[in-house]
Structure 1
């Protein structure tokens, strides 16, 4: 991303706040103009003292100086800080946070799966923080410095042309050095930023899987791996900023030389009578302020350089287009009947794509990848109970991902009640589908909140009778009354207060609460003991009535009474029929059954 594009996007982010920014810039201009007055008054006081003016006249000028200082600190500066906090900083932070969430919600489920969540979180956190850092640095540091340098330079020329040229030459040389340093270190700083993102990914993975680390006694190993990677990144950072310090020290020498030239030139001017002692005081004060501000540019530059790399990665993420596109005027059939048809559907998983600028280059996302699903054709009639069986990696979960439109097929067509899935209103369709996944993800909130989550925040509209019905069907009714506050019990992060079987039941209740036309049970009884398996299987039989139900299962005992069983192997549908039919006609199904013969 080039700087021009970066600047354009940054300005676009603050388009809604231009009024506030304009007022803050005007206040900055007024404040810096007032900064000119005090040194000017001090110079005139000195000239008055040298000229033998009366103490009364001098005191009047001093009182004027106090009035200017009071105006600046108690009015201009105070209003600047108040206006920034109340009209810009807090509101802008909220706006950017919401804008980020809006963008992330446009990504397909497939993009969320492909993108490492730790990397994405790090890019967002660093990016939003750095946007605020750049904004505050511009408002509190850069703009005041620029305005002060311009005003003071103009004033210096007004007092003495020669001294004005000396200061201007020093400023131009210092600015040129800053541009050179920025160009020299910008790319390297960006590379270190990317390495820091990768390093933070390692740390987030450790924290996310901390239980697995501890249970396998791998604490020392993961810390050692993180330390080794951190050591590499930190060494690169130290080398970069050590070189930067050397260059910046040489750059700041320009200011020292300019101050020396100002003193020497001022002494000559005073000696030949071209300026008074008061003029020299004014000039030295103005030039010292302007040149002093120039020395702070080094610190400002380092802050902006680091923030620039983070914001650039953030902007790259914000530019990522969703790979599942929603058509204009999508179809809303109303009540779905639940018929599903796959017509010549093939799919290849895209390569994993990290949110980094280097991945913005043109790449062939599917080059060299094997088909996860190949020319799949099948129909599930409305109200049927269908099952997909096969070994791990055979393509069962891929079918569900395509049905939920986590991805679009690379070839073929998926029809829901005769409508192309790509033409349907995606939110409307997903509201008609209930899914119970193998791993039930729960919020650190109440049991009621988790069950009613699909209802778009309208849990208060759910009657106790409806909640009781769903609880009975899902078997949540067998344990919720034992919780400390019943349905209003906080169940903890990932449902830590519930057992695995109880979490499964909450997942079933969450799927049923919206009365779906299509119910998907993806390995709903995996990892459960015999007792919980029996409970969940009985619940599944009851909830499958009067709706299209799809079951993904390794345990063939859960699907032997299905209306249709599809056998998946190597991404292909190799068998279709009832259990008895497949036992006669499908070799792959026979092998699956024989491997689990004890369940029949």
Structure 2
């Protein structure tokens, strides 16, 4: 229940629907009991047991409430029917129908209002989860499988929504139905009701034993669902590689193993769940059977109970069974929902270590430069950068070169604050970037990565991500700077052409130029290029390189380069090796030094 208390805070904005649901559930429970009690006068009329009363009865307290109700009904029947019993029967049948109609109207209204609360909670939990997923650092998702996160925001949240209805039934409707029904049962026969109370707790104990392991089993089902969704997500992302290496059967086997486990866990969970209904049904009928025996004695032998009251009493006893079964069913549903709530809250309560300080600087004008002061950083155990220092003056282009794993991309991740340094500090204009809000920091920067991250949308909207509310003219101008305008105009619908999932309708060079156009539109003072041309052919590289040079004019740029031909005009080239600076200088200076840079250039030239 602890997890549900945390989820309940999402119900606060919809509490009026919750109160309306409770109000109509109270009326439903009351009329549910009264509708069966109203059967007694109808049966009395049928069995011709109705006493003729010409004077209205006098109420003599709760102890004689049943007699008062019976006499009042008899008085009304007498007044209405006179000497015609069919008239009395019509009156009593009309009363029974009216009570059953009201009971069902109130039931519908209770369900009507709870729908708004359930779907509102579903919407808000999903929105909050998406907000949290976007806010969490990149490092969080390098440890989690994407499919598992998708399972949490879809099926787990849906499970919570189903459980929400169950918990309100558990708390309000069914217990009230039982309480009102028992009150009417006490009014009809105290002895019979006490007898019933001996058997109901025994039945309840047996039902509760079945649900003990449901939360654990449900948790395994939901985890396995996340597992096979991850496999689907990875398969769709790497379909080209899977087909190229004829690995379809291998991935199918992995997926099949996961669905086999899901099949096994689901069967175990559902069989345990399905056991509840027949067990509850049998125990209920057992109680009814014993009631028939004991109540029959009261009617036939002791004659302390009339036949009409006994038949109505049996209807009331059966009326208890339905909510009792619903409570046992709801308690299973709550256990399943609790497992789902635990998984959802794990995401919602994850702390983001890269958070803004309380009084973080909201606006910063870039004036002098960027400085990395004695920074050290590790992803896991080993340091990728150790005691690393670097200055990038305003308007300068600094290129980072070196072998894979030397720490080049790590510097880009740290400057943009996708990760935080373990030691030292990164400063912009002398201000530690931890003292600047993430939004303000990233407003200063444009990023073009090796993998062109594009979205299943139009060319215009993909470029427009760079600046909110950008005009068509601004988007076209940015595309021209990025050498992208010409090929865009050749697309079927120009700037309104949808480029497909991850931009798969475009070539590598075209995708990269759209990424550059997006960065140009943002027009930031600092540009970070992370191996922006390494995946391109020679012709595309030349077009992209021209676009990059257009973009870097009058800007501070940190360029991570794999192809050394692209950074020969940089103001400073930094050669990295295992997180340390091997040498630093211009292209000409480094070629004269005969060290690591010259070897790298010669190796690429030979290649």
TM-score > 0.5 by shorter chain: yes
For each residue in 1:11-41, what CA deviation from the matched residue of structure 2 results, as whole angstroms up to 9, or x when unmatched?
2121212221011011011112111122111
Aligned position for 1:68:
99
How far did residue 226 of structure 1 move? 1.1
Whether 1:389 and 2:401 are equivalent positions in the alignment is: yes
How far did residue 189 of structure 1 move? 3.3
Greater mean alpha carbon deviation, residues 326-335 or residues 395-404: 326-335
Aligned position for 2:318:
288
Aligned position for 1:100:
129
Whether 1:9 and 2:6 are equivalent positions in the alignment is: yes
Relative to structure 1, is the Cα distance of residues 468 and 195 closer, same or farther in structure 2, using a 3 angstrom cutoff?
Answer: closer
Aligned position for 2:601:
593
Aligned position for 1:356:
none
Please give the root-mean-square deviation of Cα atoms over the aligned residues, in Å: 2.3
8 Å CA contact 1:47–1:276 kept in 2: the answer is no
Aligned position for 1:31:
28
Relative to structure 1, is the Cα distance of residues 392 and 170 closer, same or farther in structure 2, using a 3 angstrom cutoff?
Answer: farther
Distance 1:63 1:250 in 2: 37
Question: Residue 203 of structure 2 is aligned with which of 174, 177, 202?
Answer: 174
Question: Residue 339 of structure 2 is aligned with which of 290, 302, 309?
Answer: 309
Relative to structure 1, is the Cα distance of residues 595 and 135 closer, same or farther in structure 2, using a 3 angstrom cutoff?
Answer: same
Question: Residue 56 of structure 1 is aligned with which of 87, 100, 121?
Answer: 87
8 Å CA contact 1:39–1:281 kept in 2: the answer is no
Secondary structure of 2:420's counterpart equals coil
For each residue in 1:501-559, what CA deviation from the matched residue of structure 2 results, as whole angstroms up to 9, or x when unmatched?
11100000101101111011111112211100111111111211101011111111111
How far did residue 420 of structure 1 move? 0.5
How far did residue 7 of structure 1 move? 2.5
Question: Residue 230 of structure 1 is aligned with which of 224, 237, 259?
Answer: 259
For each residue in 1:427-481, what CA deviation from the matched residue of structure 2 results, as whole angstroms up to 9, or x when unmatched?
122112111111111122111111111323x13xx251x3333122100122111
Relative to structure 1, is the Cα distance of residues 167 and 52 closer, same or farther in structure 2, using a 3 angstrom cutoff?
Answer: closer
For each residue in 1:305-325, what CA deviation from the matched residue of structure 2 results, as whole angstroms up to 9, or x when unmatched?
333222210111111011101
Aligned position for 1:360:
none
Distance 2:515 2:232 in 1: 30
Which residues in structure 2 correspond to 1:78-97 (within 5 Å)? 78-85=108-115, 87-97=116-126
Aligned position for 2:17:
20
Secondary structure of 1:72's counterpart equals helix
Question: Residue 488 of structure 1 is aligned with which of 490, 496, 519?
Answer: 496
When Rg is computed on C-alpha atoms for both structures, the one with the higher figure is 2
Question: Residue 191 of structure 1 is aligned with which of 197, 220, 226?
Answer: 220
8 Å CA contact 1:567–1:589 kept in 2: the answer is yes
Which residues in structure 2 correspond to 1:445-484 (within 5 Å)? 445-456=457-468, 458-459=469-470, 462=471, 464=473, 466-484=474-492
How far did residue 392 of structure 1 move? 1.4
Distance 1:50 1:247 in 2: 39
Aligned position for 2:242:
213
TM value normalised by structure 1:
0.89
Which runs of 5 or more structure 2 residues have no equivalent in the other structure?
A: 51-84
8 Å CA contact 1:522–1:551 kept in 2: the answer is yes
Greater mean alpha carbon deviation, residues 336-345 or residues 494-503: 336-345
TM value normalised by structure 2:
0.88
Distance 2:155 2:274 in 1: 24
Distance 1:110 1:231 in 2: 31
Which runs of 5 or more structure 1 residues have no equivalent in the other structure?
A: 351-368
Secondary structure of 1:280's counterpart equals helix
Corresponding residue pairs, total: 572
